[in-house]
Structure 1
Amino acid sequence: MNIPCASFFTQPCAVDAILYSYYEGRIRAPITDKEEKFRVDGMAEVSLAVHDLPSYLHDEDDEYAPECLALIVHWMCNKLRFKAVGPTIPSIYLAKQLSSDDTCHEYGLSLFKPQHSPTYLKQWLDSQQPKSVVYVSFGSVASLSDKQTEEVAAVLAHESTGCFVTHCGWNSTIEALSMGVPMVTVPQFADQPTNAKFVEDVWGVGVRVMVRKRDGEEKAMARMEEIEWGVVEVMEGERAKGIRKNAEKWKTLARAAVADGGSSDRNIEDFVDELVNLQLLKRLEL
């Protein structure tokens, strides 16, 4: 129909870069050597183990500068016309450009007037000390529903929330980053293992609980003692102070990106300008 279109990648850039390497044949799947290590074009400074890759590519301590994310985006720009936007959560939680009375921030659901959450949940959170609550949510089987997104964002935004135990789906991950909440990640499948790798080793905002399958078991799972270790490590362990400091840093960066004149704000404006100019050219041709 000759209608302009654009692809919206809903997974993190790092996962897209890994899958592109697979597409070009640099990573061969399925991977059977569990000890193999990988360096991927666009993110060569990150050493990836098999369990860090998206689950589609396999059967089942370095320090990195935050600039590695910018390098991944730059690399992707060399492969296709690409603009980074986000975090893609309601701007009321980031830039504070809208008041809570506005409705245009709700994206079809209300984060401030939840229809499904009991009022006692907020009342209970209000009664807790700042950064003292451990919030646990593993989403749904494949993706978060509107109801689940509403629940997660509302709790993460509360000042009493000190830690988020998460399956590390991209929605949950980006929401926690944007709210400055440390994470204990329990990745299951798809892009979640790579997200967990970045949470712990690149962004430094949490720890990863390994999911393992014992002999005789049909499915891998995270053990109780390992989850307990992760929560203690993030809340009061040796790394807790550094993790919380990094979480605040990424919260600040997220807000700067979507604020007026921020990187996401500029990229969206540029994208809209391109569409407008394209339509003007078509009209002139007619």
Structure 2
Amino acid sequence: MAEAAEQSDDDSSRSCNFLVVAYGIQGHLNPARSLARRLAGIDGVTATLSVQVFGHRRLFPSSSGDEEVSDGVISYIPFSDGLDDGSWPTDSDEDRERYRSACIQSLSSVVRRLAGAGRPVTCVVCTLNMPAVVEVARAHGLALAMYWIQPATALAAYYHYFHGHAEDVASHAADPAYQAALPGLPRPLRIRDMPSFIVDDATGGGNGISKMVLQGFRQLFQQMDDEGMMVLVNTFEALEATAMEALRPYLDAGVFAVGVPAVPLPGAGEKDDMVHLFKQDQKSGYMAWLDARPARSVVYVSSGSILTYSAREAEEILLGLRRLARPYLWVVRREGRSPEVDRLLLEEAEAAGTEGVVVEWCDQVRVLSHPSVACFVTHCGWSSTLEAVACGVPVVAAPSWSDQPVSAHLLEEEWGVGVRAERDADGALTGAELARCVELVVDGGEMAEAIAANVRVWKGKAREAVAAGGPSERSLRSFVKMVQDLDEFARRAEEILSAPPSCS
């Protein structure tokens, strides 16, 4: 691991060791890893990233599963959740308790291991919905921060839902158009624009996973109240300035916009902050294929690392792409793909006149940065949303669950960089709707021109955010300074308490 820079007499150089804990899934791992590496780039700071054993093994296939690995910037130490296969505990109280206890025991071991290696943890940072991490930090007397990897607007929605607005939402939850006024936000949030877990809770709907996640959020916000934890948000100040200001009076331990969109900068070389838990499809030669396509001609379609396509939805998407008669690049992960979807893709590949490429996975930032890409049909995961904004690509927003409706609202109504596609009664994105929305953002006359202008504005603001010494870096350094001050206060208090009483 890289040696920490030589410390100066300035307070900003005081030694600080961060343990960043995240779920070992794509949408949590990448922002957590990027944060850890950026922390380690500050003088006097070291960082360790800890994910569950199953995620660690996918990151480092040649490791034994529990060994520490270093990439020269940060170290990686896995923890066990008692399952270690990527599965979730069942709804039973016994299984959830076993899961919680295993996480606490293993993460406590990681804290002791780092102390024994001469890198005692100063502060624990965890991604959302990891209550066991909060308990570990409390048990070891460590400073604690949460890394909110969703929009600041979603954080505000959850906060106010759990602090006095649940009844208003619940009484109107069956009306998607109802506007709930939440303190500080620039405009009311419609029910359809709220996180799906809130709507499921308010209507009494949702499946077991939805209920479990919402319960986790409820516990998290209770812990935020009890612990007074600092909150880092994966956004940049210009993108959600009003939402960040709306949160500050309530999160008085400190809330920091520290997000840096993944965006290739001229002369910066290949970014190494992104990791891929899925094997990229090299056989298709998709980047060379993009090189051969005209500028602003390709429709890029991806639903991220979790959602899968039903046979009907896959067929509808193909119908929409054929109707557009544009070249397309479509990500359809092999994992979870049904034989019916395989058959549809094979038939499409063999059809005469088809100008499309289907890949199992790709480097999304490279794709979105390519001049041949005209628009991005996305599920509105927050990482994908930030990447679309930073790369300057118009968006067709097709949200399904979690924070995705919030992202769609921001993309269409707050930033004006795309349109939202309406799903049918079965939750499917139809071919006709896909084609309609793509035509609006690419060939829609005045609307397309307005979207293109907004895209350029936000792309410029994203580049300002990632610049060295820019607002995201300054915010991160302010957070580190706060942690250092808390650590210094605790150290001096301990010295005072342990000192022998003076004679009067």
The alignment's TM-score, normalised by the length of structure 2, stands at: 0.48
CA–CA distance in 2 between the matches of 1:69 and 1:109?
Answer: 26
- 1:98 is matched with 268
Q: Which amino acid aligns with 2:257?
A: A
- 1:63 is matched with none
- 2:461 is matched with 253
- 1:226 is matched with 433
- 2:195 is matched with 54
CA–CA distance in 1 between the matches of 2:145 and 2:267?
Answer: 27
Q: 1:17 to 1:108 in 2, by over 3 A?
A: closer
Q: 1:203 to 1:148 in 2, by over 3 A?
A: farther
**DSSP-derived class of the 2:164 partner:** coil
Q: Which amino acid aligns with 1:98?
A: A
CA–CA distance in 2 between the matches of 1:128 and 1:152?
Answer: 17
**DSSP-derived class of the 2:429 partner:** coil
Report the Cα offset of residue 24 of structure 1: 1.5
Does residue 39 of the first structure (1) align with residue 246 of the second (2)? no
Instruction: Count residues in correspondence.
Output: 264
Higher strand fraction (1 or 2): 2
Runs of at least 5 residues in structure 2 that lack an aligned partner in the other structure: 1-139, 206-236, 309-330, 334-358, 496-504
Larger radius of gyration: 2
**DSSP-derived class of the 2:143 partner:** coil
- 1:279 is matched with 487
Contact kept, 8 Å, 1:199 with 1:206, in 2: the verdict is: yes
Contact kept, 8 Å, 1:139 with 1:148, in 2: the verdict is: no
Contact kept, 8 Å, 1:183 with 1:234, in 2: the verdict is: yes
Which of 305, 311, 315 does residue 140 from structure 1 map onto?
305
Contact kept, 8 Å, 2:248 with 2:255, in 1: the verdict is: yes
Report the Cα offset of residue 176 of structure 1: 0.4
Which of 74, 79, 86 does residue 250 from structure 2 map onto?
79
Report the Cα offset of residue 220 of structure 1: 1.8
Contact kept, 8 Å, 2:261 with 2:390, in 1: the verdict is: no
Q: Which amino acid aligns with 1:125?
A: L
Contact kept, 8 Å, 2:238 with 2:461, in 1: the verdict is: no
CA–CA distance in 1 between the matches of 2:163 and 2:440?
Answer: 39
Contact kept, 8 Å, 2:181 with 2:187, in 1: the verdict is: yes
Report the Cα offset of residue 78 of structure 1: 1.1
CA–CA distance in 2 between the matches of 1:86 and 1:68?
Answer: 10
The alignment's TM-score, normalised by the length of structure 1, stands at: 0.82
CA–CA distance in 2 between the matches of 1:86 and 1:2?
Answer: 27
Q: 1:279 to 1:193 in 2, by over 3 A?
A: same
Q: Deviations over 1:121-176 (max 9, x none)?
A: 1111111122221100011336999x988532221121211100001111111110
Contact kept, 8 Å, 1:169 with 1:192, in 2: the verdict is: yes
Runs of at least 5 residues in structure 1 that lack an aligned partner in the other structure: 61-65, 214-218
**DSSP-derived class of the 2:479 partner:** helix
- 1:216 is matched with none
Contact kept, 8 Å, 2:281 with 2:361, in 1: the verdict is: no
Q: Which amino acid aligns with 2:259?
A: G
Q: Which amino acid aligns with 2:183?
A: D
CA–CA distance in 2 between the matches of 1:148 and 1:119?
Answer: 10
Does residue 109 of the first structure (1) align with residue 275 of the second (2)? yes
RMSD (Å), alpha carbons: 2.8
% identical equivalent positions: 33
